[in-house]
Structure 1
Amino acid sequence: MSNIAFNRLQRECKEVVTNSEISETGIMIEILNENLTEIKGHIRGPPDTPYAGGMFDLDIKIPDQYPFSPPSVKFATKIWHPNVSSQTGVICLDILKDQWAASLTLRTVLLSIQALMCTAEPKDPQDAVVAKQYMDKPQVFKATAEYWTLKFAKGTLPVNADYQARVDKLKDMGVREEEAISVLSCNNWDLNRATVYIFS
């Protein structure tokens, strides 16, 4: 990474760390190495969304060509969202791909991801299963996203007892909790279909 890029990145990190407006929205970063190429982002789930109360971690990798190439950003915390892969955490966001511009900053990226959590784009999904549920069964989507926030992002909502009972049934059959949650979520919490899917 060039000195220019390094100095710019230092400024950007400082901006995120010291800006009170950003910390009030629940965005923080942690620098993981001296050359600033690996950063951990933290985003608090926005209020009035299924992610409210959760704390979501992001893995941010800064390329050598920064700021002319976008950072690589993915969710380290599992999240149920049409524009994020429920398996890998990869994010579908235009500014992380073809709409990146050298004038954009880490702050812009983090605020854009937080905005995406408020308004999903199911027509341009990263996870087709989640997007279909979002459009066809909005109540199930909301309940599932809340459940994932509770389970994976230390959310504060009370647990959905009905969903938990189904997860426990699969766990009793020897299925790992994370896999049980994932398969049930993908099958709209239909226990029979989830069981067939796992054991067939």
Structure 2
Amino acid sequence: MANIAAKRIKREFKEIMKSEEVIGGSIKLGLVNENWTELKGEIAGPVDTPYEGGTFLLEIKVPETYPFNPPKIRFLTKIWHPNVSSVTGAICLDILKDQWAAALTLRTVLLSLQALLSAGEPNDPQDAVVAKQFRENPRLFTMTARHWTNVYAGGPNIVHECNSKVQRMLDMGIDEHQARVALSSYDWDLERATEQLFG
């Protein structure tokens, strides 16, 4: 790996470890296999959002051209959010693309991702199905996001309505995650979700 990138990451790492966000537990950063190009991040779901209480893991790949090019980041924890793919975890955030600047750091990026969870941007979506629900049915979006946070990110809020519908599909022999995606995508309409899977 290019020395500039490794040096910069080591320096940033030290800064992050001393930051109030790490001390307060809202963000974390760690190495994967003692390798400065592969990191794992963690952000806590922000208070007063459907993600509250959840812990979201991130895969961070740092290019050799860092800090002149942005790190490649995706969510490893499944999440229901208009700017994150519910399938791949890919993120739509301008600072990870054309608005990247060498002055930005991994700490700034983690905090920006946390801010993104507080304020989804449905007009620039990564996941069109989630964005549509976010715009057209905010109550249902919040319920779905809370349910996914509970199931995948260890969030404390159990959504019994969602759990019972997922269970009904499990009883039909459908894979749990497939059932959850179909139900979430079809606004928790059991009939439409089932039709889509057995179509």
Q: TM-score, normalised by structure 1?
A: 0.97
**Alignment match, 2:194:** 195
Q: Deviation per CA, 1:114-134, whole angstroms, max 9, x where unpaired?
A: 000000100000000000000
Aligned counterparts of 2:4 and 2:84: Cα–Cα separation in 1: 32
1:4-83 alignment, distance < 5 Å: 4-24=4-24, 26-83=26-83
Runs of at least 4 residues off by over 6 Å: none
Which secondary structure state, in structure 2, belongs to the residue aligned with residue 143 of structure 1? helix
Structure 2 residue identity aligned to 1:177? E
Q: How many residues align?
A: 199
1:115-134 alignment, distance < 5 Å: 115-134=115-134
Structure 1 residue identity aligned to 2:139? Q
Structure-2 change in CA distance of 1:130 and 1:109 (3 Å): same
RMSD: 1.0
Do the aligned partners of 2:78 and 2:89 also contact (CA within 8 Å) in 1? yes
Q: Percent identity?
A: 55
Aligned counterparts of 2:190 and 2:77: Cα–Cα separation in 1: 25
Structure 1 residue identity aligned to 2:177? E
Deviation at 1:22, TM superposition (A): 4.1
Q: TM-score, normalised by structure 2?
A: 0.97
**Alignment match, 1:169:** 168
Do the aligned partners of 1:53 and 1:155 also contact (CA within 8 Å) in 2? yes
Q: Deviation per CA, 1:58-101, whole angstroms, max 9, x where unpaired?
A: 00000111111110000000000000000000000000011111
Do the aligned partners of 2:50 and 2:146 also contact (CA within 8 Å) in 1? yes
Do the aligned partners of 1:58 and 1:76 also contact (CA within 8 Å) in 2? yes
Structure 2 residue identity aligned to 1:170? M
Which secondary structure state, in structure 2, belongs to the residue aligned with residue 47 of structure 1? coil
Deviation at 1:33, TM superposition (A): 3.0
Which secondary structure state, in structure 2, belongs to the residue aligned with residue 37 of structure 1? strand
Aligned counterparts of 1:109 and 1:116: Cα–Cα separation in 2: 10
Do the aligned partners of 2:45 and 2:53 also contact (CA within 8 Å) in 1? yes
Aligned counterparts of 1:81 and 1:15: Cα–Cα separation in 2: 29
Aligned counterparts of 2:133 and 2:21: Cα–Cα separation in 1: 34
Structure 2 residue identity aligned to 1:133? Q
**Alignment match, 2:112:** 112
Do the aligned partners of 1:40 and 1:60 also contact (CA within 8 Å) in 2? yes
Structure 2 residue identity aligned to 1:192? E
Deviation at 1:23, TM superposition (A): 3.4
Q: Deviation per CA, 1:144-174, whole angstroms, max 9, x where unpaired?
A: 00000000000111x2221111101110111
Aligned counterparts of 1:22 and 1:113: Cα–Cα separation in 2: 15
Do the aligned partners of 1:5 and 1:66 also contact (CA within 8 Å) in 2? yes
Give the gaps of 5 or more residues in structure 1.
none
